[in-house]
Structures are given as C-alpha cells and as structure tokens.
A = this chain, B = another copy of it.
Amino acid sequence: MKIALAQINQSIGKIEENRIKIFDFAKKAKEKNADIIIFPEFVVTGGYSNDLFKNKDFIITEFKATEVMTSHIPIYTIAGVISNDKLNQNITNAVAFFSDSNSMKVVASKNNLNDGDFNDLKYFKFSGFSNVFKFCEKNIACVIADSADSVSKNIEKASWLGIDIVIVLSCSPYYKGKIEEIKNIIKESAKENSVDVAYVNMLGGNDGYVFDGQSLYVDKNGNLKAVGNFLEEGLTIFDTDGQDIEDKYIDKNKELYDVLVLGLRDYIKKNNFKKCVLGISGGIDSALTLAIAVDAIGAENVLGVLMPSKYTSKESVDCALELCKNLNVQTKTIPINDIYNIYINQLTPFFDGKAKDLTEENLQARIRSNILMSLSNKFGYFVLCTCNKSEDAVGYSTLYGDATGGYAPISDLYKKEVYELSKYRNTISKIIPEFIINRAPTAELRENQKDSDSLPEYDILDDILIKILDNKLTYSQIIESGVEKEVLDKVWKLLCISEYKRRQSPVGTKVSKSAFLRDISLPVSNGYIWTPMREKDLCQKSTM
C-alpha cells in the first residue's frame, strides 16, 4: 500500500483556504499514485480554534467544507474533522474516511478529551465512534491523541486482534524533547502491540504554539518506514512494503532555533503583518530575537531601533550597530534623553522630594516602548518583545516597558538557552558580536547597573527555576540539592508576585512543558508567597 502522509500548515478559521490546500495535497498524492492520503487532526478548521468551536456559523462552514471534500476529493482520504452527533446536538472531534463512493464515514472520535494543551472538554463530546475499516486488504483503526502518554494508550486500545495499522492523528504542539519522545513511544507501541502505526501531526505556528508535524510510519517490528522532513510542509509518500529508512538525528539547538523561527514567521504572516520592529540594546536577548526575526521574515522586513539614554554605554551602541550590520538590518537611532528629561521635569513636583528609585528606571523602558509603538502605528510594523523566561519568571522587566509587543519570540527560553542558541546561530554565520555574548547582563537603566544586583546570577537562577517549574521538586528537595535557602525564598517569592505581570505579557512561542500561562498558571492574589518566607525585609528588587 502506498501511503501519503500530509504534513500541512493550516491557519485557524481560514476554512476555505484550508480546504483548497487539502485538495492540492490530495491531487499531488493522487498524481504520485498514492493509495490513500492521511491528514492530521483539525485539518479543516486549523488548530486550535478555541471558542470558534462554539460558533454555530463556524461549525456549519466546516461541515460545508467536508461536504465538498466528500463529493470531490480525488483520492481515499483520512482526515481530522468536526462531526455532529445529530441525536444530542453535540459536536465531536473526529476522524473521517473519505472513500471513492463519494461517502464520508466517521471512523473515530477523540476519547481522551482532557489530553494535551487544549480544552477539548469545553467544546466536544466523545461519541464512542470506533469503526475499524478495511482498505487494501488491511484492517485499519484510527485514533486521535496528543500527549505521548495518550498516543501510547490509544495505540494499545486500538490494537484489537486482526488490526494491521493504527493511524494516529494529532494536533499537538512542540516542546523540547518531544520529537524523540513521540518517536520512541510510537516505535515501542508498534512493537508491543504488533501493529503498524502511522502518525500525522499538524504543522505550523498558531497563537504561539508550534505544531511540529513529524509525520512518520513505523511497522509492527518498530522499524521506521517513513518520516516527514522536520518542520517542512509537504507530502511523505512511501510503500508500506518498502525498505526501512534510517532515522535522522536533529541537533537539539537547531531543532529549537528552527521552531522559534517558524513560530514567529507564522504568527506574523497569519496576523497579516509583513514587517517588524524591535529595540536593539546591545544585549543578548535583543540580539537573538533579531536573528530569529531576520531568519523568519528576511532582513529587509526588520527594523532595529537603538534608543540610547545617558546610561547606555558606547559598547552597547557599537555592538548593536555591528549586530544589525552583520544581519543587513536597517537601523534608526532615537535617543530618549530629551523625552526622559521632560517627564522628570513635569513629574518631580509631584514626587514630594522622594529619592530616585525604580520609577526613573521604569520610565526609560516605557519611553522606549512608546517609541516602538509609535513606529508600529505609523508604519504598520509589528513590535517584537525581547523578554526571556528567566526574566518573566521573576518579573525582571518593566510592565508597559520592555515587556511589550505583539509577540515575544524567546519568552519560553531560559537565559542560559538564550546564550546557547546565540552561540548556535553564530555557528551558521558569525553575526552576534562576541562582546554581546561575553558581557555581564545589564538593563542599563542606571549607572553601572547589572542584572546580578537584583537577581541571583543567571546560572543559579535558571537552576532554581528548572527545579521548580520543570522538575517540580519540593522545597526541601531543592534545598538538599544545594541551593541556598535565602536565594530559593527570594526566587519563589519573585515568581509568585510576578504573575500579574505575566498575565499582561505578549504571546510567545511555547517550547517547553512549563510555559507560563499555558502550562503554569499561578493565582495573582497569592497568599502562599509568604508562607516559606522568614526574612522580614526581603523586598522585591526587580523592576516593576
């Protein structure tokens, strides 16, 4: 049997465009003599449509699109669709089989509605569909599953006596380690249950999720028969009786970087923007963000803005310019001193003689945001936010200052990952000046400021954050691992009191299983922050 796995990048809600692309893929598969084509979960609506699933017009439009597919699709097709259970007026997240008799048959519906990143339970019911069907002399069962655990359980459940192939449809986003995890789970499951497994996942960035595709086919001995090119849209056509293929290894940094590029590119494109603008400080975060932006939409579509103040060092300006030059990015330099001075003149009479503090630092960051937003409004540029996960975790950013923008490409990267990816990007072409990589991190909002004045050194901070957020260690486990109590208490407190800031952050690309607001959601009014605290005068040093 010749199967075409469709690795397809769909847009949420663009039902007609999505349908046309499905037909294009189907035609190509037919031309290449495939017997059947397999599309992922939600291929008509795009994923994930959230409350559009509650909109009756939207659902009816989806039904119409699948009707057209039923009567015109030129090849046997398996696809993730919305189905309606006329009896109960419910909709189900389903798999349909389109055959040559111009008929569409629902052959499965998602059973684990609490699986994965999205709230299927809010929209769908499980209808108990599970129709095995015969095709090319093979008994085939379909399932929808998102998490690795659910993929494994669903393959096991679907592997009745006599089943030859289990087809897994998915619309599940990327996280670090997922590629290997899913591949291994599928190989193991295929072997254990002695069935062939086809896996087809959605591709593309949507709302900060990157669906990583990685369609593949494994035979019942656990041997790889086909795998889609990483993050590339297209068809993978192969013969189930063909040769085993060798598994390709993807460098971890390349994998992560490419996901970030696709996440940003699709977000900009799918929100109908073309160009973007960001502040270039001469620091590592804006450097990496700039590189990602250039790789995503081309240097000609990116504008770098330098907004020096009296605290900005000459090295910062030089580095920023060198970086932009290396990337062929156009720059504008708009100093903020005059604007800052007027604010201070106007506000000082209202400050009751109080000394300089965070107020003046935050003001600079907010002026910069205003300038970027003005360029955005005037020219339709999309503003990029350069905040990273370590900063977001402890609130080390200025609300309505540097924490602003339409999208935050690196907001799910720990600071150490920002360094790793910057070094990785430099191995492709040396674009980020060494000085930027080697300098001590600083916000340059006052004389000789360093991030480590307010925060633990980033290697210590990242270590603690990973233990809390990713490894879910308990307080005493973290202490036993060698973290100082004072430092841990401070980080925990900052983590809790920064939730209000994270709630107002731009959307960013999720690359972990511990992304803020998506995977980790703390209460804002969080009384528990005080419980492990003993130090009376531990006060928030981070900028607000």
Interface residues of A (CB under 8 A from B): 11-17, 46, 48-52, 54-58, 61, 114, 119, 121, 206-208, 266-267, 270-271, 332, 334-335, 338-339, 342-343, 345-347, 350-351, 354, 357-359, 362-363, 366-367, 369-371, 373-379, 399-400, 404, 406, 472, 474-475, 500, 503-507, 520-532, 544
**8 A-B interface contacts by CB (under 8 A):** A13-B527, A14-B531, A206-B525, A208-B524, A359-B377, A369-B400, A370-B370, A504-B505
A267 to B13 CA separation, bound complex (whole angstroms): 37
A469: nearest chain-B partner, CB-CB? B51
**For the complex, what is the distance from the CA of A113 to the CA of B51, rounded to whole Å?**
20
What's the nearest-Cβ distance from chain B to residue A11, in Å? 4
Q: A14-B528, A342-B342, A400-B400 are in contact. Are A377 and B544 (CB under 8 A)?
A: yes
A384 to chain B, nearest CB (A): 14
Q: How far is the CA of A51 from the CA of B468 in the complex (A)?
A: 12
Report the nearest B residue to A519, measured CB to CB: B51
Contacts of A12 in B (CB 8 A): 523, 525-528
Contact of A15 among B343, B375, B531 (CB under 8 A): B531
- A451 CB to closest chain B CB, in angstroms? 19
Among B266, B362, B367, contact of A377 (Cβ-Cβ < 8 Å): B362
Is there an interface contact between B504 and A50, defined as CB atoms closer than 8 Å? no
- Knowing A48-B523, A56-B474, A343-B370, say if A528 contacts B377 (CB, 8 Å): no
A54-B524 Cα distance, complex, nearest whole Å? 16
Contact of A374 (CB < 8 Å), options: B208, B343, B504: B343
Given the known A-B contacts A12-B528, A370-B343, A528-B13, are A358 and B377 also in contact in the complex, defined by CB atoms under 8 Å? yes
- Distance in Å: Cβ of A18 to nearest Cβ of chain B: 8
- Known contacts A359-B378, A370-B370, A373-B399; 6 additional CB pairs below 8 A are A13-B523, A50-B521, A58-B528, A61-B531, A270-B527, A503-B506
Min CB distance A470 to B, Å, is 12
Within the assembled complex, what's the spacing in Å between the Cα atoms of A195 and B370?
62
A400 to chain B, nearest CB (A): 5
Which of B14, B51, B400 interacts with A530 by CB under 8 Å? B14
The residue in chain B whose Cβ has the minimal distance to the Cβ of A359 is B377
Chain B residues whose C-beta falls within 8 Å of the C-beta of A345 in the assembled complex:
338
- Inter-chain CA distance A544–B377, complex, in Å, is 8
